[in-house]
Structure 1
Amino acid sequence: MACLTPVTTGATGRFLSEVLTGDVYVLGRSLHYLVVVGAQLVGMAVGGVLIVWLGPEWTVLVTAGGHLLAALISRLFLPYTEVVGADGSIVRKTLRGNAALVATPELIKLIMVQCLPAGYLAAAGSLVIPYAGQRAFSPAETGPVLAAISVGMLIGDLVIGPVCTPATRERLVLPLLLVMGAPSIALVLDPPYPAVLAVYVITGIGPRRTFGCHRWVIERSPARLTGYRRLTTRYERTAHHVAAFLTLAAALTCYKKHTT
């Protein structure tokens, strides 16, 4: 699953970037995350019932069947887009694209801002079970703690995406980075159970800092600049910026025509 998940994630990101432009892209990602997290919460509840009813082995088998059903639905009902690998190997194109991204210093910093802090969330999530065991939480108490991070993500999708303005989302990047790691420090004090739930809910809101980073990544990505994609995404805040890049694109087009 860890090897295959990036394939579906990349395909989803490409599809959204093609059909949505500007700040609507951010809102589309917010809606996408909302659906994913909602499905995750429902899946946790259903999985808990199945484990009690069928046992862990049969639950894993049902989960595998669910993945096959999702693949069938994707194959039959999702719209087709242009075939990416028509002009060469998608693996080679991916490696070349990654090399271009790594060669862009500003973009590397943004990628680190988006990816490295996920370790905060992974650390917090990985400590739920041992922490619950140390605090002698019952299974009924441990379950809500496990779901608390997803609840925080759901809150972030509902508030930070649709409600906040683009400028506010960008100003929230640093505070949300701190929210991902700082609340867990309070667990050292062995707070009461409601406070533990609150800590994990607040921690779950932090990953939605990515909503404030989307414009920065789009504006600096070489892949967006190739073929004048920056004009396609229309992510500039002011009209004269759009006009400037339109003029630059026209000049480059004329130069290419002249040299050939």
Structure 2
Amino acid sequence: MTTYREIFANREFRALFAGNAATVAGKTIQMLALSALVYASTGSPLLSALAFLGGLLPQALGAMTLLSYADRVRPRGFLAGWDVARALAAALLATGVLPIWGMLLLIMAFGAVDALSGGVRNAIMVDVLPGGFVLGRATLNISVGAMQIIGFATGGTLIATLGPHRALAIAAALIAISAAVTYTGLRTRSPRATGRAGVAATWRGNRALFMNRSTRTVLIASWVPNGLIVGAEAMYVPYAGDWAAALFVAAAAGMLAGDLAVGRFVPVPVLDRFITPLQALLAVPYLLFFLHPGLAVGAAAVFVASFGYAGTLGLQQRLVDWAPESLRGQALGLDGSGRMTFQAVGATAVGGVAEATGPAIAMTVAALASLAVTASLRSRLRAGAQVRDDEPVDSGNRILTAGGDSG
């Protein structure tokens, strides 16, 4: 599958696309409304920030404890059921019966399971779109960016006109729609793996992925260079002040353009060759900030750099190709949750540098560090593209060896 017409002709992909779009819009409205509600109740910027981003913080915990379930659940039932649970949680928040601490605990508890749901959703796309995973993943990426923009704009309007509680009720309805679309649009599939899931199984699977040089290199390449550049993006407000929105818009536009171009026009067999160049592109334009460019030049640099995020598509395709089928969902879930965690780490690290040097120098340092990591991984990625790693991967159910079946 190499065209948008082909993937949208697939009924199951249409269900995944529509369900994911409704979920993203609902979650975005929920985050915004809950943040406004908490701030109005407490006047605390810290608690407001926790309400907005608190669901992202526990994803690392979910990746360490729950990801073994990603290959041991029936995808259709789990994804639809999880959306039902999310819709009920949003409806509970809309009632206003929970205290502030209860609201924060609720969204953090759901955040821990989001790492699992991301792994299940990405893994089922491999089955829904045989040979079309990259284009399908890029298409979902584009829809996520678009629905976040729509969600923020709509959420702000709803909060201003109806208040945060009614906005949360609308978020619950959108997520419930996602549950219905997912359940009716996907067909039933059996789990990829058998055996008991849990913390021990998750640790064994994660260890198996990290003990293999190829998958370990792919995960590090996916997490660290991107996380450092997200740290640079965290400096937009200190650097540009009231004009920071222009840099954020340029970054979003560049990322969407990269997903659109690479996902559609770069054939999967040659996608490997673009991983390192795209990751280098992600960092190089930020070196201009050492010269303190004006807003127009800075926005252009950010747009070009953000095109490089499309390198993640090639890395995700490698995980699909190399991870054992019984660990595919766990590998993709670990990739997603790891990227979220390293984005937070990158923002913290770059912010610390900026305290001593100022935002422009901190952005330059982040770019140099990202380039250094990309360069250090270049030979390993190239070697992995030529031959699979000769170290066995013990998934607890099967062994992946050189020349063996990758599922």
Q: TM-score, normalised by structure 2?
A: 0.47
Q: Which runs of 5+ in 2 are unaligned?
A: 1-54, 59-110, 329-402
Is residue 2:220 matched to residue 1:116?
A: no
Paired residues of 1:41 and 1:150 also in contact (CA < 8 A): no
CA distance in 2, matches of 1:83, 1:34: 29
Q: How many angstroms does 1:103 deviate by?
A: 1.9
Whether contact under 8 Å (1:110, 1:217) holds in the other structure is: yes
Distance 1:70 1:95, change over 3 A: farther
| Paired residues for 1:40-119 under 5 Å | 40-47=148-155, 53=160, 64-65=168-169, 67-78=171-182, 79=186, 81-82=188-189, 84=191, 87-119=195-227
Across the aligned residues of Structure 1 and Structure 2, the Cα RMSD in angstroms comes to 3.2
TM-aligned CA deviation for residue 196 of structure 1: 1.4
Kindly report which structure 2 residues correspond to 1:170-189, keeping only aligned pairs within 5 A, or say none: 170-189=272-291
Could you say which residue in structure 1 is the equivalent of 2:249? 147
Q: Secondary structure at the residue paired with 2:130? A: coil
Aligned partners of 1:41 and 1:147 also within 8 Å: no
Q: Secondary structure in 2 aligned to 1:172?
A: helix
CA apart distance, 1:81: 4.1
Aligned to 1:8: 117
* Distance change >3 Å, CA 88–CA 97, structure 1 → 2: same
For 1:205-258, what per-residue CA distance to the aligned partner results, in whole angstroms no more than 9, with x for missing partners?
A: 1111022224432332134699xxxxxxxxxxxxxxxxxxxx977xxxxxxxxx
Q: Which residue of 2 aligns with 1:161?
A: 263
Q: 1:225 to 1:193 in 2, by over 3 A?
A: closer
User: In 2, distance between residues paired with 1:95 and 1:170?
Assistant: 29
Q: How many residues align?
A: 220
Other-structure match for 1:29: 137
The 8 Å contact of residues 97 and 223 in structure 1, kept in 2 or not, is answered as no
Larger Rg: 1
- Counting aligned pairs with the same residue, the percent is 24
DSSP-derived class of the 2:148 partner: helix
Q: Which runs of 5+ in 1 are unaligned?
A: 227-246, 250-260
Give the CA deviation at 1:195: 1.1
Contact 2:250–2:303, Cα closer than 8 Å, also in 1: yes
